[in-house]
Structure 1
Amino acid sequence: MIFSRVKSWHTLLWAGILLYASGTVFARDLHPFQLHKSTGQYPDIYNLYTSVGQLGMTVTNFGILGNGWNPIDGKIQPSCQYKQHTDILRENVEHFSFAGLWIGGIVNGQRRVSTSIVDGVFESGQEGFEFFANSDVTIRSSIASTSQDSMAQYYSPLAVSHQDFLMDFKDYGSTVSDNLGIPNHTPLGIDVHLESYAWNFSFADAFVILNYSITNASPDTIRDLYAGIWADASVANMNYTDIYTPGGGFTWYDNLDGFDRSVDAAGFTRDIAYQYDADGDDGWAESYIGITPLGGSVPRTHFQTHYQQWVWTNSNNTDYPEYSMPLVDDERYSKMSSDVPQGDPATGIYGNDGYPNQTNSWLFLVSAGPFGSIPAGPDSVHWRLPPGETCQVVFAVVAARWAGTSQDSPARRANLHINADWAQKAYDGEDKNRNNRLDPGEDINGDGVLNRFILPEPPPVPNMTVDVGDQEVTIYWQDNAENFIDPISREKDFEGYRIYGARKTVTDSMPEFTLLAEFDRIDPLHDVGYNTGFDAIRITNEQGQPDSVEIDGRYYQYKFVNRGVKNGWMNYYSVTAFDRGDPESNLASLESAVSANRVYVIPGVKASSVWTGTPTVYPNPYRGQATWDGYGNREQMIWFQNLPPRAEIRIFSLAGDLVDVLEHDEQYRGQDVENIPSQKNPRMSGGQHAWDLITRYDQATATGLYLFTVENLDTGEIKEGKFLIIK
């Protein structure tokens, strides 16, 4: 597989997708490079990304994170995108092209560093691409198999999170000394097992945890092992500065980096290496990307976190001499085991935090160590990893929106702190003091084992479906959330439901979802919610007893009808479940993810097997740039309604020339109209069909009166109509 990273002041050139006999090649310039040289036993897997939460990050089985913003199989997928599930385009931000694991250690007095990726390398087999796939990728999920969530197919009782990726890679070939011909690569002889974890909880959807287990497969002891994440970050919103289009405005050179040493509630420094777009791109890139070590096999009090940054491929930075790219393993190990010196703000080229304040194509390296399985001395300052033994290092990749729009500061990084703290809480689990021991009072579940990756859980996401009609949407959902047992309180603490719809404004200044209704249990013992009860939404039989309705083989116990919804407009709905919280554990009420079961709909007249009435068009007349139109000629549309289940629509000019032919059935999802995001699979009524005003000869239509016929393909009946276009 080949990716490329363009580092130039000039316009980005897109060379398309090239196919070679050796595999798939992706290129953005005239000098693509092969990212990974397979050992042949296992295929390179590079098309998986975390999809359950808001942080969509590509994870490969050869040590690299991200996809370089290269289309995968012709599709644009997240590299490190937050928020990936939002409909607010300003918040849909990418954060790095590539990141990757570095591991360094001392073997027989020699410093060795194995890297998954480095800057400035463009050819397969060159120094820097030094990890190789040693397994396929296994996917697991803790989302119950009874859920309608797509991750339920991967349910496993062994799963840690809502989406686990498990994989193995190594830094050697057929033997631990085989460097596969890579120049200057002396393998450490290590096997790496990676497990990545992601959740869809609203409080835990902004981070991905990377759990690395590093095994010494060589016959030599590795001393003072350090692990780090190299990140070629560049915070950008592709809806505003598009890297995929020549002249799209994307640049690598408007970013700044920093290292956050603020102290969390447990008294530990957060140690977050982070980057941000310096000016936020007029509100389109007001986001942080951060990477922080969470812990490992060495207690938190016994390892150090180190931070480095430099400009892409700049090994001799005259402005910032200490901020230069390392070229050889000895220099890389030095970077991993030390901090870049902070400068004097009085010079004018450093910020108040001591890091460069001049924007550039900065990248950073955050590392932690030393690690091992055995302390080398009584002071535990140095560690050894003997042959056959394993140590663990855990990092989190964290994203966050700015808290305000002032200059970078701890206050503006408040959301980054919150999200990083949740990642830390997830890793800590029962280990509240981070000493890697189960101390008195920490054994939450009473099993005598130190358990990690524990988060408070809201009730499960309700299974839901919708029925779309004429200016009306009916939402149905199951009661699957009501018997959930909280893993911390060990109680059934379900409290109620909230029904959400699309925001009621076209601006991005309002919340993405509008709360339509809330219903909760009548429970005088717990002062949560409004004690409304569920009578208004419960499905009942003729005797008024609780009942259910069957839809597509599933039974639903609740429904909510949203009336007065405009036909032809994209809307979306979701239902969440929330609990009553646990005051004794200082836990507030928790709610399932609002975007987890979001369903997109476009209301309209339903299709009927008995075709009555006359087919019509709306808006009629169509006046150029209708409110729902986009900016291009292909982003305009009108709707034909009152259609039978299967129909052929033929459109004619007033002179009788055939303009276009549309084939319709009840399963229509807008796939033939660019203005409808068919990838969101919007539910429709089945009785209407959109047209983008483009003729069958791929030309825009002109102002004029048009005639149309609709043929019922089941009966042969034909009806006629007309509409006016004014541009």
Structure 2
Amino acid sequence: MIVTNYGQIGGDRGQGTVWPGTEKEGRIAEYINRGGWFFGGIVPADSSNSSSNAGLDTLVSEGTAAWSVVDFPEMFPHYPDERSAIQVRSRDPNSPFFSPDAVSDEDFISVYTDTFNVSGNFPFVPPKHRRPLGIEVVEKSYQFSDSFAADLVFFDLVIRNVGQNHIRNFYVGLFVDDDIGCLFSNTFTDREDAVGFMRVNAFGDTVNTAWILNTDGDEGCVAGTVGLRILRPTRRIAFNWWSSDVDVFSRDDWGPTTPDVYTGRPNTDDPVGSPVYDSEKYRLLSNGSIDYPQFDLQKNEFDPRIPPGFPNDPSRFLLSAGPLGTRDSTISDPSDEMFGQTVKMFAPGDSVQFTLAIIGGEGDSSKAKTQGTFDPHAFVDLGRNSVIASSLFDTPGVDTDGDGFAGRDVDGDGIPDRGDGVPDFKGPEPPPSPRLTVFQQNRQVTLDWSAADPQRPGYDATDPTQPFNHINPFLSDDPATEFDERLDFEGFRVLRSESGEPGTFEVLAEFDLPHNDFGRNTGLSFRYDDHASDGSVFYYAVVSFSRGEPEIGLESRQSSPFSNLTRVVVSSQPSTGFTQKIWVEPNPYMEGQGLESTLGRGTALDFVNVPTRCTIRIFTPDGDHVQTLVHDDPHSSRARWDLRNKGGRRVAPGLYIFSVEIPAGERREGRFLVLR
């Protein structure tokens, strides 16, 4: 996809949005010829224009024009510094554009404004272009290499008011001239395109996605579809399409007039056809209409409400949302045209945000060619990918900013269906690791995670920290089945490492759900025994892994071993008496090299081969009592100390004496050294 630093996507005839592609050699499938941002708002009238006696002006600044031949774009880079060029960043450490600030595998960042006066260099500029809204746009586009996100491109805009006017009821939209077909082929034409709007996908998810298709599939070359979804803001979305006559100066264009879905306003004053003037473009940006589809996907025919002749004209559309602003204001001046209305105010110096995803829906070229149309399954894929786009942008159930809110539960099932309003741009999380208990007895290490067993008495089926309850918001639930397909847990893996370092773990065992087409169908277990020789040191972990959804490229994901990683020093069978020499590990203790249950800076040491019930007292060489530990564990011959004294403070470096006493009164002594 071509992106620019002047508010346009696509190249206007030639590889604008070339995706999802075709398998036919030498043929390139184009789904969007060109598109561009529309920014519209209401400002005080220009007092320098003596011919105007109106109090307010309606202005729309365009990244690309609705009619590229007779109209003119208004967004341009004009900085003398590096912001005039498109910046490239990547999160891939092997990329020459690697940056720790990157969001995706391919970030493009550009800055442009509508304040660059180009009219002196272009004599054919309508007068309206000489008055900008006064905005600066920072556009960031993101594309991810993850297979589940391969059909998504995100556009994240930050729009700043750099002018002197308060802009009222500011709207943002993307205008699209689709022109779908196989480029550089004899079959290419823009007369078979159709657009529409998908409110709900095949699984009942609300997706509010505009779509584009080629009605005959162009001999299988364009079997799929492309959609656009506004991800931020979502409170008032409008979708308006029109057919444009091939005669540039003709007013014989046509488009439906659809009532405002939010207020019921009939919108009878909407432009019928291509919007030419700013007032007409603003009407489409702000009218709240969701036009009916040009093409009936079930009947495989154009809508009969379209006048004869117009279905074969090139189609264009505008997808928009708003109003955006930083505060609400009720107009109290009786002389103001908007007196009594409550408007969104976009003040000078303030910024607003707008995010949109362009989404691919893959179709089967062979099926489309055989049927002589597009592949209907492409719309199933589009609906799924729209859910993925929304979840990738703002993942439901994730409290990104840590304020305690993880998203709204729309359907009342206890599971957040919406994000917290703070963008994530991150893929799905694996199911959480189970709570793990590790104990050893007579050279046998036992790992127990039965707390994760859903058959255990008292198990909480609503606890999101339990692996079995893991909901993957990137998946859709099929309402026709009893099972919730969003539940994405498949099994456990038992891991062991000699060092505990990343990349050093071996899989001792794997247990997964039976009776499905994933994994080995071993059935689940919640306990594992490992045998090792005396003195062996191992790091153990039990991780959870998901099933994923291979059909949409969502791979199985595994939780981190470091969430329940446990270090074990294998020793002989615990005893109630003094059967072996007692020592301290490590000795000497050095800062950062002690023992912990997880990796990190060591802050503890162990007394090894202590009886199962004993009292450990620690002293300085002068006899000052430092700490007392009570050990009572029939399964363990080790007692851990966190190096804190009776007052809770870290002990000072030096030599220490310890004594170990059993209930019968027998005692053993030793010493150890603490270094910093």
For residues 493-539 of structure 1, the C-alpha deviation after alignment (integer angstroms, 9 at most, x for no partner) is 999xxxxxxxxxxxxxxxxxxxxxxxx9563234663599xxxxxxx
Q: Map 1:187-586 onto structure 2 (within 5 A).
A: 187-238=132-183, 242=184, 248-262=186-200, 268=206, 270-296=207-233, 300=234, 302-311=235-244, 313=248, 316-317=251-252, 323-338=272-287, 339=289, 342=292, 351=302, 358-376=311-329, 382-402=343-363, 405=368, 413-430=379-396, 440-441=405-406, 450-456=422-428, 523-526=509-512, 529-530=519-520, 581-582=545-546
Identity %: 24
Kept in 1, the 8 Å contact 2:492–2:511? The answer is: no
Alpha-carbon deviations, 1:44-80, whole Å to 9, x = none? xxxxxxxxxxxxx11001111012345xxxxxxx421
1:253 Cα deviation (Å)? 1.5
Given that 2:360 and 2:385 are in contact with CA atoms closer than 8 Å, whether structure 1 keeps it comes out as yes
The alignment partner of 1:419 has SS state of helix
C-alpha distance in structure 2 between counterparts of 1:368 and 1:295, whole Å: 8
Distance 2:300 2:172 in 1: 30
Structure 2 CA distance for partners of 1:171 and 1:413, relative to 1, 3 Å: same
Q: Distance in 2 between matches of 1:452 and 1:251?
A: 40
**In 2, are the aligned partners of 1:438 and 1:449 still within 8 Å (CA)?**
no
Letter in 2 for 1:233: D
Counterpart selection for 1:173 from 97, 116, 119 = 116
Q: Which residue of 2 aligns with 1:591?
A: 555
Name 1:66's counterpart in structure 2. 10
> Is contact 2:201-2:384 (8 Å) kept?
no
How far is 1:263 from its partner?
A: 5.7
Task: Provide closer, same or farther for how the CA distance between residues 457 and 202 of structure 1 changes in structure 2, counting only shifts above 3 A.
Answer: farther
* Gap change, CA 1:224 and 1:317, over 3 Å in 2: same
Q: Distance in 2 between matches of 1:409 and 1:355?
A: 24
Deviation at 1:156, TM superposition (A): 1.8
* SS of aligned partner of 1:523: strand
**Deviation of residue 224 (structure 1)?**
0.8
Paired with 2:552 and 2:318, the residues of 1 have a C-alpha distance of 36
One-letter amino acid of the structure 1 residue matched with residue 546 of structure 2: D
Is the contact made by 1:80 and 1:96 (CA closer than 8 Å) also made in structure 2?
yes
User: Any idea what SS the aligned residue of 2:357 has?
Assistant: strand
| 1:118 equivalent in alignment to 2:84 | no
- CA distance 1:421–1:349, shift in 2 (3 Å): closer
CA drift of 1:82 comes to: 1.4
**Structure 2 vs 1, CA of residues 449 and 115 (structure 1 numbering), >3 Å: closer, same or farther?**
closer
- 2:295–2:301 contact (8 Å) kept in structure 1: yes
Q: Distance in 1 between matches of 2:357 and 2:319?
A: 11
Name the CA shift for 1:452/1:340 in 2 (closer, same or farther; >3 Å).
closer
Shift in Å, 1:237: 2.3
| Letter paired with 2:17 | C
Is the aligned partner of 1:156 residue 2:120?
Answer: no
Structure 1 residues 264 and 256 mapped into 2: Cα distance closer, same or farther (>3 Å)? closer
Change (3 A) 1:220 1:103: same
- In 1, the alpha carbon distance for the partners of 2:349 and 2:121 equals 20
Q: Would the alpha carbon gap of residues 391 and 92 (structure 1) be closer, same or farther in structure 2, given more than 3 Å must change?
A: same
Q: 1:295–1:321: structure 2 CA closer, same or farther, 3 Å change rule?
A: closer
Q: Provide structure 1 residue ranges, at least 5 long, that are not aligned to the other structure.
A: 1-56, 71-77, 459-485, 496-519, 533-578, 594-727
1: distance between equivalents of 2:226 and 2:399? 26
Report 1:63-102 matches (<5 A).
Answer: 63-70=7-14, 78-83=15-20, 89=25, 93-102=29-38
Residues 41, 170 of structure 2: 8 Å contact kept: yes
Contact map agreement 2:196 2:212 (CA 8 A) in 1: yes
- Structure 2 CA distance for aligned equivalents of residues 260 and 587 of structure 1: 21
Q: Specify the SS of the correspondent of 2:146.
A: coil
CA distance in 2, matches of 1:345, 1:88: 26
Distance 2:396 2:210 in 1: 26
Specify whether residues 431 and 373 from structure 1 end up closer, same or farther in structure 2 by C-alpha distance, changes over 3 A only.
farther
Q: Tell me the SS of whatever aligns to 1:159.
A: coil
Structure 2 CA distance for partners of 1:310 and 1:432, relative to 1, 3 Å: farther
Contact 2:393 2:423 (C-alpha < 8 Å) held by counterparts = no
Cα deviation, residue 218, structure 1 = 0.7
Aligned position for 1:138? 87
Conserved 8 A contact 1:254-1:278:
yes
Larger Rg: 2
Question: C-alpha distance in 1, partners of 2:72/2:281?
Answer: 13
Letter of the structure 2 residue corresponding to residue 440 of structure 1: F
**How many Å separate the matches in 2 of 1:320 and 1:416?**
25
Can you list the C-alpha shifts for 1:148-178, whole angstroms capped at 9, x where unaligned? xxxx222222211111111100001279x99
Tell me how far apart the structure 2 counterparts of residues 227 and 107 of structure 1 sit (CA, whole Å). Answer: 15
Please tell me the residue identity of whatever aligns with 1:105: G
Residue pair 2:202, 2:380 contacting (<8 A) in 1 also: no
- Residue type matched to 1:236 in 2? G
Kept in 2: contact 1:288–1:400 (CA 8 A): yes
AA at the equivalent of 2:284:
K
1:421 and 1:449 map into 2 onto residues whose CA distance is 16
1:308 & 1:353 partners in 2: Cα distance?
Answer: 16
Q: Alignment partner of 1:80: what SS?
A: coil
The 1:94/1:189 distance shift into structure 2, 3 A limit, reads same
**How many Å apart are 1:421 and its aligned residue?**
1.5
- Structure 2: distance between partners of 1:340 and 1:294: 16
Aligned-pair CA distance for 1:437: 10
Question: Counterparts of 2:545 and 2:176 in 1: how far apart (Å)?
Answer: 38
Quote the RMSD (CA, aligned, Å): 4.9
1-side partners of 2:382 and 2:19: how far apart? 12
Instruction: Give, in whole Å, the separation in 2 of the partners of 1:166 and 1:325.
Output: 31
Deviation at 1:456, TM superposition (A): 2.1
String of CA shifts for 1:279-308, please: whole Å, max 9, x gaps: 112212112122221113xxx3x3333323
CA distance in 1 between counterparts of 2:304 and 2:549 reads 37
For the 8 Å contact 1:431–1:437, the answer to whether it is kept is no
1:250 deviates by: 2.1
Equivalent positions of 1:587-626 (< 5 A) are 590-591=554-555
Cα gap change, 1:521 to 1:354, in 2 (>3 Å): farther
Report deviation, 1:311: 1.7
